[in-house]
Amino acid sequence: MRGNSVFLASLLIGAALFLSGCGNEATERESPIVAFAEGRGSGNLRLATVSSIRVWARNQGGTAWEILAKCKALRGVDATWQETTEGRLSLAVREESFWGFGGEGKP
């Protein structure tokens, strides 16, 4: 009997660990805007916070303005959009645009 309990407990722990690894990343659609930013040196934005994206965007100049323009049409697509990588990128770039990017004013 004890062997079955240990097996069942191990199975439940394994299932919980497996399911905890299933997050939003797996269901998030591919984004041309995120690919654009990552192609310009941002690194893996899926792992980045809004704050860290802002630090990157601060010195991007024209690239950041392009991202801001691309995001305008998508803003508020649905209630969960801001929780996606694309939404966090858009929010970070919009917040940073208030100060200009690397001293570059609006084009």
Residue 84 gets which letter from DSSP? S
Distance CA 12, CA 72 (A): 45
Q: Which sign, positive or negative, has the C-alpha torsion 68, 49, 96, 83?
A: positive
Please tell me the number of Cα atoms within 13 Å of 73 on its side-chain side: 5
Taking 3-state DSSP, the helix, strand and coil percentages for the chain, each rounded to the nearest 5, stand at 65, 0, 35
Q: Which residues contact 60 (CB under 8 A, 6 or more apart)?
A: 40, 67, 101, 102
Report residue 20's pLDDT band, with 50, 70 and 90 as the boundaries.
low
Instruction: Tell me the average pLDDT across 29-40.
Output: 93
Between 97 and 1, whose confidence is greater?
97
On the question of pLDDT at 52 being above 70, the answer is yes
pLDDT tens digits for range 70-91: 988 877 677 888 889 999 999 9
Report residue 6's pLDDT band, with 50, 70 and 90 as the boundaries.
low
Report residue 51's pLDDT band, with 50, 70 and 90 as the boundaries.
very high
On the question of pLDDT at 30 being above 50, the answer is yes
